C-alpha cells in the first residue's frame, strides 16, 4: 500500500513557474514508476509526465516538453514536477500516481496502469 500526498500547487501568472511535490509513504518507493496526470474542468484526465523506478527514463506529453521536468529522490520518497513557462491551458488539478512495476526503465502513460493516486493539487495559470 502506498499513500501519495501532493503539494506545491497554486495561482501563478502566465510565464511563471511552480514545482509540485508528491511524497509517498512506505519503504518501497523505488519499486514504483511514478507519473503526473492532470484534469481540467470538463476534460478527461491526461498524462503529463512519468519517470521510471530508477529515474533513468522520463517521458512527457508533447504539450509540456521543454517546459516541464520530472525528477525523483528515492531517498526522500518524493517525486517532483518542475513547471516553467506556464500557460493558461496548463490550469488543472494535478495528480501524482504510482505504478508498481518489475521493470526499472519502463514508464507507462495510461492512467489505468497506475494503482495508487494522490488527492490532487490545483494549479491555476492566469493570463
Q: What is the pLDDT of residue 99?
A: 96
Q: Is 89 exposed, middle or buried (0-12, 13-18, 19+ CB in 10 A)?
A: exposed
**Cβ-based neighbours of 91, under 8 Å, separated by 6 or more:** 40, 123, 124, 125
Residues 6 or more apart from 31 whose CB is under 8 A from it? 53, 100, 101
Provide the pLDDT for residue 1. Answer: 83
Q: Provide the pLDDT for residue 104.
A: 87
pLDDT at 27: 76
Enumerate residue ranges in the chain where pLDDT < 70. none
What is the average pLDDT score of the chain? 96
The CB density around residue 1, as the number of other CB atoms within 10 Å, is 7
pLDDT of residue 114: 96
Amino acid at each position: 500500500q502506498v499513500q501519495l500526498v501532493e503539494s506545491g500547487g497554486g495561482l501563478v501568472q502566465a510565464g511563471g513557474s511552480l514545482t509540485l511535490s508528491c511524497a509517498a509513504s512506505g519503504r518501497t518507493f523505488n519499486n514504483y514508476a511514478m507519473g503526473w496526470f492532470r484534469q481540467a474542468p470538463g476534460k478527461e484526465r491526461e498524462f503529463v509526465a512519468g519517470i521510471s523506478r530508477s529515474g533513468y527514463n522520463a517521458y512527457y506529453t508533447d504539450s509540456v516538453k521543454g517546459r516541464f521536468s520530472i525528477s525523483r529522490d528515492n531517498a526522500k520518497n518524493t517525486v517532483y514536477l518542475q513547471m516553467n513557462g506556464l500557460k493558461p491551458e496548463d490550469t488543472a488539478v494535478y495528480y501524482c500516481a504510482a505504478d508498481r512495476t518489475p521493470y526499472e526503465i519502463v514508464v507507462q502513460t495510461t492512467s489505468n496502469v497506475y494503482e495508487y493516486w494522490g488527492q490532487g493539487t490545483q494549479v491555476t495559470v492566469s493570463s
